[in-house]
Amino acid sequence: MKAWLDVAVLRCPNCGRLYVETSWYVVEMESDIECGECGNEFNSRKNMLSRALLEFQLDENGEIQNVHVSKRL
């Protein structure tokens, strides 16, 4: 079995710390994020670096067996 998750990579514009969030949170909601490193609040969409679709391979019980990048968006 397989399942997918659309994710976005962002960078804090103040200190450069990297984050990975779900793409709907970044692209659709354009949510602001508070950096856990420096405390700066920034807009996730404006600071998005890349986006990808992750593919999760699952066993018959839904346990994750493997994860890989299915497609770069």
pLDDT, tens digit, for every residue of 5-59?
A: 999 999 999 999 999 999 999 998 999 999 999 999 999 999 999 999 999 999 9
Structure confidence by residue, pLDDT tens digits, 46-67: 999 999 999 999 999 999 999 9
Residue burial 18-57, b: 16+ Cβ < 10 Å; e: rest? ebebebeebbeeeeebebeeeeeebebbebbeeebeeebe
- Would you state the pLDDT for residue 72? 84
Predicted TM-score of the model (pTM): 0.83
Confidence of residue 71 (pLDDT cuts 50, 70, 90): confident
